[in-house]
Structure 1
Amino acid sequence: MRKWQRQLTRLVIGLLVGLSILNIGVSAQAASTAPQTPTSPPTSILGINLAGGFTQEPIDSNHISGDTVTLSAKGTRNILEALTNPFGSRKYVWWESTDGGNTYSKVGSNSTTYTFTAPQVSGVTHLYFQCQYDFTGIGLFYNEWSRIADVIIMPDRVPTTSIKVTADSTALYNGEITTVHATVTPSTATDPITWTSSNPSLASVDEYGNVVAADTSSSTDGLANDHGIVTITGSSNGKKDSVKIMIGTLQNVTVKEGSDATFTLRDLPEGMTVSNWYRVEDGTATALNTTDTSYTVNSASVAGDNGTSYYATLNYTLNGSTKSVTTNSALLTVEKTGLLSLTAVPNFNFGGIDAATLCQGDATLDNMDVASNGSNYDGNNNGSLTVTDSRETGGDWTLTATLPQFTLDGTNSSHLGATTLDVYDPADRLDQNVPANNEATTIYTSSDYDGQDFDVTDSQLLLSQDPLVTAGDYQSTVTWTLSVAPS
């Protein structure tokens, strides 16, 4: 019984293999075929191929009789095929048409390149080539087909008089590939085209015009050479033209102090989402807990934000499992603008106290950090007291506060007794008492050109005993004054 089972297993396997070989024979061994529809370019991000296809296509070119002509193509299997069909493979099959693209015959196989000698011709002759990325293995994975390359053969040299360079894509994620093209005048010019990159380590270009973006660096300081702009130049017969290509998922941002700075992820492939954003300062990364496709630093400052960097982690699903990939880090530069300004002042709300309590003794009220509808409220309710200083020259600045007596709302006759506002920010060691006597009190003096952003949420109001206090709502208005000493 066991022997019979082994024989049947061999028979079934042999039958399956035989069917697979028969299928390959039909698609790859035919003497001629009609031109095939080129496969869509592969979808990838940060070097991860979410869909397979040709990462390098055969290009159009012009030659004279007797030239050695080499066509090149490269394909990639998508990540799902590589994982689920590890024993499968693909090979390259080259097809040529000599009848204007009506029919194609196989001319080469199992190589990323195909080389031939240009035939002797008496006039303009077009040869068309297409590369097949042939699947071999078990599974429903289709053959990929390249674009059709037009190789023009001329009997004699035709000089290039002008050149125009374009790119299939002018923005690449890290690890992605695109192709640059040269349109020459006249269209039959046979002078060779050479390609150069202004920054080969950021993006290289080969002899066929294939541009490969650098991989994402492991550095998170935003200074790595894995993002920025690269210039690709094509030259022919001394004529030159260039195209600029942006490399990297994120780009550096430069703003003037006080402006918003936004880092944006370009269009992500379908199914890829943002897991989180991170801010890096002095080598320490802090999660920003947002999944938006952009992140904005509000009112960027030289002191707090200049030199920080930002990156994001992205999620995608593969075979039912969630995978993660990290973008490059981009740098934030905040420039001084020559501006000195008081950009935020706080509102205070000290709640209430029973009149009988104040009649009997002193009291201290904490700022409640809540909004109020009082007529004197014209600042913010989050405790921000901010001075922006973007100057590079000038004298020291001083911030003072003037506080008049508290008056009963709607009247000018009833006042609180002796009252003091304690402006307090423990983080920046700010602790200044401002008496309600309508005289200026110095809050802070700066001896450099850095602004300050105080959080005075924890400020208090110190009330002296007042036996004559009248119940009601009391208000006063703080006048904040920013002044500069002569240079």
Structure 2
Amino acid sequence: MQIKRIIYLSLLMLVTFSGAMIITSSVSAVDTNETSSISSQSSSFDSSETSSSQSAASSSAASSSAASSSAASSSSDKSANAKSVVAPQTDPAAPTADDGVQEADWTASYFIIPIITGFQVQPQSEQYVVADSSGNATVDLGFKAAFFFFPVLGSYLDYTPTQWKWNDSTGKWDKTVIKTQTASFLLTGNPKISYKPLLSVGTYYYQIDGAFRGALGNKDSKISKLVKVVVVPAAVQAKSISITVPNVIFANAAYEGNAVTDPVDATGKISWTGSSPSGDWNEITWDQQTGRNSNFTVDNDKQPTTINTSTTDPGTPILIAANIDNATGASGTANDTKTTYVGGLVAKKMAADEGGTWSLDAAGLKDLEASVNPASGTNVTWNYQWQYSTDGTGKDSSFKNIPAAADGVTNISGNVSSATELSNTSNVLTFSKNSSWVNGAATATTSGTDYVVREKLTATVTDESKKVTNIEIDSNAAGLTVTGATGKLSLEEVPSFNFGDVSASNIYNGTIVASQTKPEAKSTLTVSDTRVDSNDWTLTAKMTKFENGNSTGLDTNTMLQMNNLMDDVSAILTDNDVSTEVLSSKQGDAGSWETTGQLLLNANPNVELNNGDNFSSTITWNLTAGTPNATAAK
């Protein structure tokens, strides 16, 4: 009678590791205006354990006018005899196309030179104005134009305001087309137009139709945004004010800030200011500094010169603030302040062998493109050039181009059709892990003076007359701190095989013959090497004799075959406790592999087996490198 005995086999893993681990122009138009050594022990009998280390409304227009639906009046008209003052009962919905409102054109762009003709600075999108004792108020609906001019002959602007006034009696909008007015200009392509209609108490909307023409007669018609004006009989005090501004701005581009009050119809004057957090810089150019909408620019040669050392702040911080008077509270004012960043470039801190990329803030680039080229046209293209300074000052004169041949650095310069493309992978500054230029920056950091880096942009603008102009926009200066190499060689995970139940017949007869079924188990081996030079490591292992708990071993040698290492490499260990090479960098790169272990048993006809015997072996792994060790992996 044949007795079937079941034997349990498992492997106990012990891992050691040694070896290397390397490391305005203003013109008045009318009179209104961001070795460890791993040791892993596997085992209990059928478990395997491995160690591992490691609101505003739309706006823009200009307005002129009084309130008769049959006659238009210029801003110089005065209504003198208002007998009563009656506040509007409701806040009616804005007029629509059914009321004669036209679709607004793109906001103009004036980027040192005119790029897109039209309304560069729109009239205030929403105003609440207090009537005087006569029941009237003069409302400022001034705007700023951008168009091509002839230095000798000048240019002209014909503008026609349209007014909608709410009629409480009819519950409808009364539309009035105001008389066309003309303004002429010399030596400027972006004049300020002053337009100040005198209005009685009520709710109004305005839109301006502008005919921008040169002295030779060419004309370009543009429609402003629809803007709201409410004239109230008494002041409405503000409880608070909240502003929004872009998070990132670039020099020479125009940006807008918007304010919302509580209550929304507060009538106090809103004023805007800008400065550095320390107060030692206030070089903002304001095209519009009062009202719910502000327009501002930072000139390229006046942007802050502070070197950005923050790896999260996308540029040099400045503070934009708005204040409204006639507010509740002891001071009679309310204010809000927001931080915006000039230049779009964070500081970078990296290890010499880390590699990586560096780029301008993507959201800021999107806003830059919209500011310079709001109509999404093709008249602006971009060139970029990365520059660096070695004296630690960040002064404009200290910067020089990163050489085109700089070792291990790519995307140093190039051309793109849109500013948004500058943050694409194919255009961002890229460092390899073994860049000698980065090693030079590491030497500078060690000596106490970091490299300072910036990205210089050049916008090539083709205007409507086909004239080409190059306009420079520099990012802020940002520090580059490079520390020593941190690459390491480590054995992250070693396999632990549990072969489960093995029949007595396999023990007696063996499994080494090709036709015999071999016990199998799967597990993982992981070698990590983040060093720059990683072609000098060797992984060895040795396996002890299979024994049960009574120190009884198998009579003959047992082997373990591990398959699927580095794709198709196999290695065989014999339980003689002698080190055998399993893998090396000569065969391929470090990585992680799920290996299949096969137990190759020689015949053991004389071994004494007892039901439930548990045989185990210990494998010791050793990872070595040809150069001295670096800091142990954690």
Question: Per-residue deviation at 1:328?
Answer: 0.6
Residue of structure 1 aligned with 2:103, choices 24, 29, 37: 37
1:127: how far off?
2.2
Q: Deviations over 1:340-385 (max 9, x none)?
A: 656423659xxxxxxxxxxxxxxxxxxxxxxxxx9537789xxxxx
- Note the alpha carbon deviations across 1:27-54, whole angstroms, 9 max, x for none: xxx966944432211246x544321221
| Equivalence for 1:214 | 298
How many residue pairs were aligned? 325
For structure 1, list consecutive stretches of 5 or more residues without a partner in the other structure: 1-29, 349-373, 381-475
Structure 1 residue aligned with 2:443, among 296, 303, 314?
A: 303
Q: Does the CA-based 8 Å contact 2:348-2:358 persist in structure 1?
A: no
Q: Which runs of 5+ in 2 are unaligned?
A: 1-69, 73-98, 168-172, 184-191, 277-281, 309-313, 328-332, 391-397, 404-411, 417-421, 445-449, 489-530, 537-583, 591-623
- 156-165 or 30-39: bigger deviation: 30-39
1:95 CA drift (Å) = 4.1
Give deviations 1:48-74, integer Å, cap 9, x for gaps.
432122121111111222144322211
Query: Superposed, which structure 2 residues align to 1:395-406 within 5 Å?
Result: none
Q: CA deviation at 1:335?
A: 4.1
- Local SS of the residue matching 1:344: coil
> Deviation string for 1:245-300 (max 9, x for gaps)?
4444x434333444634123714444333434232334352253433624324266
Which residue in 2 is equivalent to 1:290?
A: 414
For residues 429-448 of structure 1, the C-alpha deviation after alignment (integer angstroms, 9 at most, x for no partner) is xxxxxxxxxxxxxxxxxxxx
Alignment of 1:50-449 (within 5 A): 50-59=115-124, 60-66=126-132, 67-77=137-147, 81-82=148-149, 87-99=154-166, 101-106=173-178, 109=181, 110=183, 112-119=193-200, 121=201, 125-137=202-214, 138=216, 141-167=219-245, 170-199=247-276, 200-202=282-284, 204=286, 206-208=289-291, 209-217=293-301, 228-236=316-324, 237=327, 238-248=333-343, 250-257=344-351, 258=354, 260-264=356-360, 266-267=365-366, 268=369, 269=373, 270-271=377-378, 272-282=380-390, 283-286=398-401, 288-291=412-415, 293=422, 294-298=427-431, 301-303=441-443, 306-318=451-463, 323-335=469-481, 343-345=531-533, 375-376=585-586
**TM-score using structure 1 length:** 0.55
Q: State the alpha-carbon separation in 1 of the partners of residues 210 and 316 from structure 2.
A: 33
Q: Distance in 1 between matches of 2:232 and 2:199?
A: 9
Secondary structure of the 2:299 match is: coil
| Alpha-carbon offset, residue 105 of structure 1 | 3.1
Amino acid of the structure 2 residue aligned with 1:295: V
What's the RMSD between the two structures over aligned residues? 4.3
Distance 1:40 1:312, change over 3 A: closer
Report the identity percentage.
Answer: 15
Distance in structure 2 (CA, Å) of the matches to 1:108 and 1:184: 34
Bigger radius of gyration: 2
Structure 1 residue ranges, 4+ long, deviating more than 6 angstroms after superposition: 83-86, 218-222, 336-339, 377-380
Q: For the structure 1 residues 105 and 85, does the alpha-carbon distance in structure 2 shift closer, same or farther, using more than 3 Å as the test?
A: farther
User: Structure 1's 227 and 52: CA in aligned 2 closer, same or farther, altered over 3 A?
Assistant: farther
Distance in 1 (CA, whole Å) between partners of 2:213 and 2:162 is 18
Greater length-normalized contact order (CA 8 Å, ≥ 6 residues apart): 2
Secondary structure in structure 2 of the residue aligned to 1:217: helix
66-75 vs 308-317, which deviates more? 308-317
SS in 2 for 1:307: strand
Would you say the 8 A contact 1:221–1:329 is kept in 2? no
Q: CA deviation at 1:187?
A: 2.8
What is the TM-score of this pair, normalised by structure 2?
A: 0.43
Judge conservation of contact 1:58–1:149 (CA < 8 Å) in 2: yes
Kindly indicate whether residue 618 of structure 2 is the aligned counterpart of residue 478 of structure 1.
no
User: Residues 323-351 of structure 1: CA distance to partner in whole angstroms, max 9, x if unpaired?
Assistant: 43332143232347798656423659xxx
Equivalent residues of 2:269, 2:290 under 8 A apart: no
Structure 1 CA distance for aligned equivalents of residues 306 and 318 of structure 2: 17
CA contact (8 A) 1:108 1:114 kept: no
1:325 and 1:146, CA in 2 relative to 1: closer, same or farther beyond 3 A?
same
